[in-house]
């Protein structure tokens, strides 16, 4: 797998752009957040089942648990990490467009209403004596 550097625009004081490896940064964030927020047994299940792609039978045999307990743990992991990935600040890991490029909003400028500007406020006139 080759690494690709991407030009990223930012709001810095000196530079307006920087380079980054967005795919690798995403993978590192994904794995680190998962490791930090799961217990030891849940992370072992997460790593074997989700990251390494092991079959549920192999996971049950390796962890010495039955099918029902294993899948209850899988559903608990999905719920926990799904909430965490969505609520992360400042960039959530889901949806991906918010992580990689900020929120993408498509608009049709031809049908967009023009903003209404409030009338300019003039200072009151002084009464002449």
Dump pLDDT digits (tens) for 80-102.
998 888 888 777 777 776 666 65
For residue 86, the number of C-alpha atoms closer than 13 Å in the C-beta half-sphere is 6
11, 93, 89, 37 alpha-carbon torsion, rounded to 10°: -140
Can you name the CATH fold of 27-101? Arc Repressor Mutant, subunit A (1.10.10)
pLDDT over threshold 60, residue 7: yes
CA distances from 32 to 4, 84, 86, 102 (A): 21, 12, 15, 21
pLDDT in tens, 102-123: 544 555 555 555 555 665 666 6
Tell me the C-alpha distance between 68 and 63, whole Å. Answer: 13
Residues 6+ apart with CB under 8 A from 57: none
Q: Please give the model's pTM, rounded to 2 decimal places.
A: 0.62
| Distance of alpha carbon 77 from the chain centroid | 17
């Amino acid at each position: 797998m080759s690494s690709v550097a991407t030009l990223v625009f930012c709001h810095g004081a000196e530079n307006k752009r920087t380079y980054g490896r967005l795919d690798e940064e995403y993978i590192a964030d994904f794995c680190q957040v998962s490791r930090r927020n799961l217990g030891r047994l849940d992370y072992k299940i997460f790593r074997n089942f989700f990251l390494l792609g092991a079959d549920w039978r192999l996971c049950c045999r390796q962890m010495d648990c039955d099918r029902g307990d294993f899948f209850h743990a899988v559903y608990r992991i999905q719920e926990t990490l799904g909430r965490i990935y969505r609520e992360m600040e400042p960039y959530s890991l889901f949806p991906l467009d918010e992580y990689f490029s900020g929120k993408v909003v498509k608009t049709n400028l031809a049908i967009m209403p023009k903003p209404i500007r409030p009338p300019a406020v003039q200072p009151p006139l002084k009464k002449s004596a």
